[in-house]
Amino acid sequence: MAQDTDNPCLTDGVAHEYDLVLRRVFDASPEKIWRAWMEPALLQQWFCPKPWYVTDAIIEPRPGGRMNFVMHGPDGEVMPNSGVFLEVVPHRKWTTTDAFTPDWRPAGQPFMVGTVELTPLADGRTEYVATARHWNEATMKQHEQMGFHDGWGAAADQLAELLKTF
């Protein structure tokens, strides 16, 4: 399933002004998708659109647990990402943000709150909705210009391929 281009700011039936949304249907169970997200060795195989890649993933799926990794670009770019889980419903939904440290202190200039929702379908596949929620229009537009749709879409394609391997 492709991105919801009719209303890219529609999640849970409610429009959110500064959301970017990617929707897909994967030929995998929610449990497999959860595993691909929560196991650092698996996340590092698909999370960035190639030729970018991820290292040093630390994933602690519980409220206040870390969601940290480093993205590396083809020209030597290094982008550390530090955040925490706000909400975790195993195999169904998780929410992370870069707005806080694990001890719930403000982490500086927040960029977004990310949510992934997994809905099992009757045919064994899973609806996957990844939402990036921003505090304002400027950061939402910055994320769009950074390549949200293409980048998150390419990563989702890589996730779909990885899901076939285990």
2 located within any domain: no
101 located within any domain: yes
Q: What is the pLDDT of residue 109?
A: 87
* Domain total of the chain: 1
Q: What is the pLDDT of residue 16?
A: 78
**Nearest-angstrom CA–CA distance, 4 and 116:** 15
127 located within any domain: yes
Q: What is the pLDDT of residue 6?
A: 39
Please report, for the domain that includes residue 21, its CATH number.
Answer: 3.30.530.20
132 located within any domain: yes
Q: Which domain holds residue 43?
A: 17-163
Residues of the chain below pLDDT 70: 1-15
45 located within any domain: yes
**Nearest-angstrom CA–CA distance, 143 and 1:** 22
5 located within any domain: no
**Nearest-angstrom CA–CA distance, 16 and 35:** 28
pTM (2 decimals)? Answer: 0.88
3 located within any domain: no
36 located within any domain: yes
